[in-house]
Structure 1
Amino acid sequence: MKYMINLFGYNVDCEIKVNNNGLSIEIPEENQHALKQYLIRVLPKYGREASHDSPLEMLVDLAIEAERTLDGRMVEPKLKLPYEFQPEIKEKLIEAAALQDMSATQLLIRIIEKKYQKVMGQ
């Protein structure tokens, strides 16, 4: 069944599978790539070195290590985008973000990342 989980302050779409032997979570490749980009952006804020050459497994290990030293969860750096929308577009953006339990800025970043990956063929 499809489900959204929050990993290190980032909402990731995944598929949860339950079988006789246990529970497994599968994250589609495009969502793994988006999570990797997020971790590359966020980990330096928590004193961890991350680069585009770093494998996802290493980034996840660094994120787990960072969260263990925190009192809470990692969060995406706050960013104010200088944008203006028509009121009805802004309302749709805010509503869509609320349904996904994220800020409008986070949703915009996610949309831009997905479009960039599509255009750049990544």
Structure 2
Amino acid sequence: MKYIINLFGYNVDCQLTVGNEGLHINILEDDQRALKQYLIRVLPKYGREVSSASSLQTLLELALDAEKTLEGRMAEPKLKLPYEFQPEIKEKLIEAASLQEMSATQLLIRIIEKKYQEIIG
């Protein structure tokens, strides 16, 4: 079953599988890379030192530790985009973001990260 989960303030597409031994969550490699980039970007805001060479496991452990010390949950840094969109593009972005239960900024960041991974990867 396809599902979107929120990990440390980041929405990740995943596949839920129920078997004899319990529930399994599978995340595609592209989405794992995007989550890793998100954690590299966000964890320093919560006082954790990371590098681009950090493994996903290390980043997840740091994120778990960060959330344990918070009274809430980690969140995507708020960004004010330095440019304006055409009104019809902005409306489409907002509509697409609301359908995925995320902010327009989060969706835009996700689109940019995926395109970056396509080009660099």
TM class by shorter chain equals over 0.9
Aligned to 1:95: 95
Aligned to 1:46: 46
Please state how far the C-alpha of 1:83 moved relative to its aligned partner: 2.3
Count of equivalent residues: 121
CA distance in 2: counterparts of 1:119 and 1:46, whole angstroms: 30
**Alpha-carbon displacement from aligned partner over 1:9-51 (angstroms, at most 9, x marks no partner):** 0000000000111101011100000000000000000000111
Q: Which runs of 5+ in 2 are unaligned?
A: none
SS state at 1:88 partner = helix
Q: Which runs of 5+ in 1 are unaligned?
A: none
CA distance in 1: counterparts of 2:86 and 2:47, whole angstroms: 39
Q: TM-score, normalised by structure 2?
A: 0.97
- Letter aligned with residue 14 of structure 2: C
CA distance in 2: counterparts of 1:101 and 1:53, whole angstroms: 31
Residue 21 (structure 1) aligned with residue 40 (structure 2):
no
> Following TM superposition, where does structure 1 have runs of at least 4 consecutive aligned residues deviating by more than 2 angstroms?
none
CA distance in 1: counterparts of 2:112 and 2:39, whole angstroms: 16
Q: TM-score, normalised by structure 1?
A: 0.96
RMSD (CA atoms): 0.8
Percent identity over the alignment? 74
Residue 57 (structure 1) aligned with residue 57 (structure 2):
yes
